Chains A and B, each alone.
Chain A
Amino acid sequence: MASPVGLELFHQIEQFYFREARLFNEKRYREWLESMVDREVYYWLPIFEERYRADRKPPPEFPPAIYDDNYKDLEERIERFETNLIWMEDPPSRIRHLITNLEVYHAANADELETFSNFLVCRNRREHEQTLMIGGREDRLRRHPDGWRLLRRKINVPQRVIMDTNLYYFI
């Protein structure tokens, strides 16, 4: 297992995630992309299949994913928000991200870190709608001259059947 980082770096990374959560809460997606995301990012939310433990059927050759995004894909999703033509977001929904259980480790490459965190995302829409999503993230961050940036993110969502109408928000 890679070694955990010292207190000061841990604090920096914790602040990185709290800032990211605040940008998501305030829907400042463009700012998030341009100041916190590496150009070589891979942002991935795979689905899983409920199989028996002893099952021997091979995994699918083409595993589906809810997010399978590179930088350009993320940017296009953000441009879609920026059109102001998404009726679901007008009136806007309210969203809140809580980030917990942070672990930060040195990666083999000195300019990179590996992290684990849990999230709770609550989205409220219109009068009554409230949906909760709890899960985990496995990230790789890369050092840039102006701070750390997201290089890779795997999002683990435990719901097999997603209980929300869509997952069109960043985690």
Chain B
Amino acid sequence: MSIEVGKLLDHRNGIQKKRIFWDEELYRLEMERIFARSWLFLTHESEIPKPGDFFCTYMGEDAVIVTRTRSGEIRAYLNTCTHRGNQLCQAEAGNTRSFTCSYHGWSFDLEGKLAAVPLEADAYHNLLDKDRLGLPRVPKVESFGGFIFGCFDPDAPSLRDYLGEMAWYLETFTARAGVELLGPPLKSVLHCNWKVPTENFICDSYHVGWTHAAALKVMGGPLAAMSGNTQAPPGIGIQVSTRHGHGFGVIWEAASALHRQPDYEEFLRAKQPEVAALLGEMRGKLYRAHWDAGIFPNCSFLYGTNIWKMWHPRGPHECEVWSWTLVEKDMPADLKRKIQKEALRTFGTAGTFESDDGVNMHGCTYTNAGPHARRGEMVSVMGIDHDSTHPELPGFVNDANYSEIAMRGFYRFYAELAEARDWNEIIARTHTVARNGGNSNGAPQTATPRP
């Protein structure tokens, strides 16, 4: 590899070279080393409930079809015909018995098998070895809490192990009644590198009061005080970074802060004792907190506001954002509808918050067109001397509302994954860290290297 990723990123001092948002060569390396090795969010089981249901998405820049077979198993295939490589499925979702190519009519069943070839006897003299021409399968497809992820690397750990400590946190909202995503997703183009929105969602509570000053001011209520970043209310939140580059920021008791009607808050208060009984008081508390979160590499969500996002990379200077609404399965239909309205009103394509972000993300990317700017560095030093462990919370925790700990954790793992020979090297390192560190007092032992 001609790029030394480690030289672009200094996690100990919280520094990233600006060219990480611009370089073509680094982008190609990311496709091979980050996107080809990570578990990538595909869709949710609630989006493909029946055999024959399918959903088309991307893993990095590879188009894939996610489908439920006749036996109910979920599989993913590269969305490309094995004959001449045409895009096989050209609808974005639906229900089908087979996928038929628009070029010569080759047809593949839900198990990915090449089932029918027009004029097979006349054109191929019945000599075509159809068994060898099935759709290429994504080797690993697994679910957690109904969220379906795929991974191109057969040596990667299980999805559960990949999510690691983050899974403990995700259970806060997945374990009680289960969740579903309301789709189809909104889709729009952002003129920015895919890492810019990713690092924003994973930790950036600092921008909220400034970038979103207008929306906060109009909204009123407890968060209006954040507008303009003139005061930092003490003790309102924490920041968390977990093994494999995941992380999130928390504002306590603020899950429903962006919802204008009280019924979501009432639902959370009613269900909180169930969550606490099932998972303990700490996760009961997290259940009523607002989270801005990232699942490495390019999946983000806001728990509470309940928007779920993928940032699909489209070259180094562009990405596509897909947005679903996250709801709990046992919510009344009327509440699901209201949550969807509020989630998309704030973080949809014309979102009162979302529309503020795109401009900054464009700016963070395109200033690097200049070679002098590109040689510079960016800092993520916020709270760097206050990173710590916590008696009850896994991972590394910064006990403050403002900290870039999860951004440092993201880039730390980004470099580790890009430079590692393979997953075995990473897994071995995880075990070493777990032996030497780890939390006490009953919290799951941390496997996160200090960010």
Contact = CB atoms under 8 A, between A and B. Distances in A.
A165 B344 contact: no
A146 interface: no
A45 B350 contact: yes
A160 B350 contact: no
B345 A161 contact: no
Find the residue from B91, B340, B349, B351 having the highest chain A CB count within 10 A.
Answer: B349
B96 A88 contact: no
B92 A50 contact: yes
Nearest to A45: B350
B214 to A, nearest CB: 4
Contacts, number: 127
B247 interface: no
A83 interface: yes
B215 interface: yes
Nearest to B91: A52
A167 B53 CA distance: 31
Nearest to B366: A128
Interface string B315-327: 0000010000100
Contacts of A76: 218-219, 352
Contacts of B362: 165
Given A83-B217, A162-B349, A88 B355 contact: yes
Contacts of A79: 218
Contacts of B217: 83, 85
A55 B91 contact: yes
B142 interface: no
B94 A55 contact: yes
Given A57-B53, A165-B355, A73 B345 contact: yes
B350 A66 contact: yes
A47 B189 CA distance: 15
A88 B95 contact: no
Nearest to B95: A57
A77 B337 CA distance: 20
A163 interface: yes
Contacts of B215: 80
Interface stretch (B17-25, B168-176, B178-186, B273-281): B178-186
Given A85-B217, A165-B358, A47 B186 contact: yes
Interface string A137-152: 0000000000000000
B191 A165 contact: yes
The CB with the most chain B CB atoms within 10 A, among A52, A61, A67, is that of A52
Contact of B182 (A45, A62, A69): A62
Interface size class of A (residues with CB under 8 A): 35 or more
B349 A66 contact: yes
B188 interface: yes
Nearest to B340: A62
Chain A CB within 10 A, most for which of B53, B96, B219, B345: B345
B140 interface: no
Interface residues of B, number: 49
A17 B92 CA distance: 36
A63 B211 CA distance: 29
A165 B211 CA distance: 15
Given A64-B182, A66-B186, A51 B92 contact: yes
B93 A51 contact: yes
Contact of A80 (B184, B325, B352): B352
Contacts of A50: 90-93
Contacts of A84: 214
Contact of A83 (B93, B94, B214): B214
**Most B CB atoms within 10 A — which of A67, A69, A80?**
A80
A80 B354 CA distance: 13
A65 interface: yes
A119 B95 CA distance: 34
Nearest to B215: A80
A69 B320 CA distance: 25
B227 interface: yes
A64 B341 CA distance: 8
A68 interface: yes
Given A79-B218, A162-B189, A164-B188, 17 more contacts: A47-B184, A51-B91, A51-B93, A51-B94, A56-B95, A57-B50, A57-B93, A61-B333, A62-B340, A66-B349, A76-B218, A77-B352, A85-B213, A162-B188, A166-B351, A167-B188, A167-B349
Interface of A: 45, 47, 49-52, 55-57, 60-62, 64-69, 73, 76-77, 79-81, 83-88, 160-168
8 nearest A-B residue pairs (beta carbon): A165-B358, A166-B355, A162-B188, A85-B214, A55-B94, A57-B95, A168-B355, A85-B213
27 contacts: A47-B186, A47-B187, A52-B91, A52-B96, A55-B91, A55-B95, A60-B184, A62-B182, A64-B184, A64-B340, A66-B348, A69-B345, A77-B352, A79-B218, A80-B214, A83-B213, A83-B217, A85-B227, A86-B356, A161-B189, A162-B187, A162-B349, A165-B362, A166-B354, A166-B358, A167-B188, A168-B352
